[in-house]
Amino acid sequence: MVYHLGAISETTATDGDLVWATNVELSRNLWHWCTNHDVRFIYASSAATYGDGAIGFEDDLSLPALERLRPLNLYGWTKHAFDLRVARAVAAHRPHPPQWAGLKFFNVYGPNEYHKGRMISVIKVKHDEVAAGGPARLFRSTEPGLADGEQKRDFIWVGDVVDTMLWLLDSPHVNGLFNIGTGVARSYLDLANAVCDAVGVPRNVEFIEMPEPLRGQYQSFTQASVSRLRAAGYPGQFTPLEEGVRRYVQDYLTQPDPYV
């Protein structure tokens, strides 16, 4: 099996040629290689394909459903473009790998992400702020009627993600496009409070203005529908946010060696 997780995931990327070559053409080449060599293929899609979430977060592989999606940034558009290529190939009964699955990852966090620069999880960023003695800094809301800190995302512990990928390895009959999230949206304020609690300091949150490059590209709400993953037979349970944050902070970030 090939697990293809590499991509330019920076949501503010602007080099369209480079992002297309990395996120679409490389994926297409690997799809064809796996098809020609009878190798199973699991690739990373993204919750960024859903855009502002106005039409929901259903991992529907049908072309009419996919063609309605409107991602907010170049990263989301390229991930969506490859999902469409896969869906069209499957609908047309063209050759494909003996098993394939596209995984729409939501907000993954956990150890071994330290190389990701600005795309590192917000839990790690908030931990560093709090551990240095400052407040956890969150963006002010730009959505009318939405309070500061009440922007919500579906945060998923990396161990749960690994479990789903290993389950696919053991389930060669399972094919499709699947959301990989918990099915429960939690607020950034919940997250910041959980980080403070895990570090063992009083809760302290400061709100700052959203950077201009993120305005109009920011998802204020994501929540995975996991019904298709469950219908396919996945039995695992998902780690609650507070427990995942505690595990990340206390078992990794505060240890001399933060790696798995």
For residue 203, the 8-state DSSP code is -
> Which residue in the block uniquely carries the two structure tokens 């790998």?
97
> Which residue in the block uniquely carries the two structure tokens 């690997």?
30
Could you confirm whether 75 is annotated as catalytic? yes
Candidates 75, 109, 218, 248; catalytic one: 75
Rounded to the nearest 5°, which phi and psi values hold at 122? Answer: -65, -25
Q: 44 is written with which tokens?
A: 């990373």
Q: 190 is written with which tokens?
A: 């919940």
Which residues have a Cβ under 8 Å from the Cβ of 36 and sit 6 or more positions away? Answer: none
Name which of 109, 117, 135 is nearest 248 in CA terms. Answer: 109
Candidates 3, 43, 114, 116; catalytic one: 116
Q: How far is CA 6 from CA 2, 69, 137, in A?
A: 12, 23, 29
User: Is residue 174 within 8 Å of 168, Cβ to Cβ?
Assistant: yes
d(CA 226, CA 183): 6
Could you confirm whether 79 is annotated as catalytic? no
d(CA 123, CA 129): 10
Residues designated as active site? 75, 116
